[in-house]
Structures are given as structure tokens and as C-alpha cells.
Amino acid sequence: MAPELRCGGGKGLQACEQTRQAPHGRFPLRCLHLCTRILVGTGFSTSALKTIVMHLLITTPLSGWCGKDFLLRLDDIMCYLRRCLETKCLNHFFFGNKNMPEEIVLPPALQTAEPVNLFQHLAHDPAAHGQALREFTELQDQLERLLFYGI
């Protein structure tokens, strides 16, 4: 994916580079923050959500990471998590990621490593998988209550 530059005259190269590296400021962090708020009391880690957001950052156009698309990005995060739970597979972002943007330079050992499945335990433990699916449903309900009612 080619980075998009959103630079006005007078802001200079530094502002362009900052925009390229952090699409629309801190927007992805705000999505992540909201999602991690509702993780309390579940078996999901903030690391799993960070991994999902990183995967989405390289597959979603940068122009889609802005305030007007907030609900769409939250939905993308939850859909990605659901798919990973259903397939029992969430690959680590850095280990063996063949879709790594060229701007991110990793040591050769990470580039050639086999992908690491962060949800591997779900594939081997049906009870844990069932629990994770139930917690996901609760997570979705919590997110809806938070967005619609502020609770």
C-alpha cells in the first residue's frame, strides 16, 4: 500500500513524514484505547488487539483512519477478532508476516521466521475456544452499550 501524504503548504517535510507514519494523528490509538477499555474481565489481551490493529493498518487505506470512519474501524477490529476466533488463528504481526510494509525494516530472523499463532491454545483446547467465543459475544455487547449508552 502506498502511503498517502496530507500536507498543507508551510508545514514542511517533517509534518508530511509524521502524517505518513501516523495516519490522521492518533486515530488508530483512539480505536485501540476504546477496545482495550472493554477487555477488562475477559481472557483477551491488549496484545491481541494491538496485533489486530496493526494488521488492519496495513490492509486498510490510510484515508479510512479518520474520525468519520470511527465506527467502521471499530467494526473492522471486532470482525477481525471474530474471524480469528473462528479460525483459531491470530498471527503475530512481526514474525513471518509476508505483508510487512517495506517502511518497517525487521531483522532477517523475524522476516524469515514462521508465523506465530497467538491463538494456538484455542486450537488445542475446545473448552478455551468455547469460552473465548462467549467472551467475544460479551465484548460485542459491552462495546454496543458503551457506544449507544455511554456505559
pTM: 0.78
pLDDT at position 18 over 70:
no
Amino acid at 72: L
User: How much is the average pLDDT of 29-43?
Assistant: 80
d(CA 132, CA 48): 13
Mean pLDDT of 33-51: 85
* Single-letter amino acid, residue 146: L
Q: How many other C-beta atoms can be found within 10 angstroms of the C-beta atom of residue 151?
A: 6
pLDDT category at 9 given cuts 50, 70, 90 is very low
Q: How far is residue 8's CA from residue 119's CA, in Å, rounded to a whole number?
A: 43
Q: Provide mean pLDDT across the span 86-99.
A: 93
Give me 132's grid cell: 473465548
Cite the DSSP H helix spans in 25-125.
27-37, 46-59, 70-87, 108-112, 120-124
What lies within 8 Å, CB to CB, of 104 at 6+ separation is none
Which stretch, 63-72, 131-140, 141-150, has highest mean pLDDT? Answer: 131-140
What mean pLDDT is predicted for residues 10-27? 43
Long-range contacts for 121-126 (Cβ within 8 Å, ≥24 apart)? Answer: 122/85, 122/88, 123/88, 123/89
Q: How far apart are CA 122 and CA 38, in angstroms?
A: 21
Predicted pLDDT at 24: 52
Q: Is the pLDDT of residue 118 over 90?
A: yes
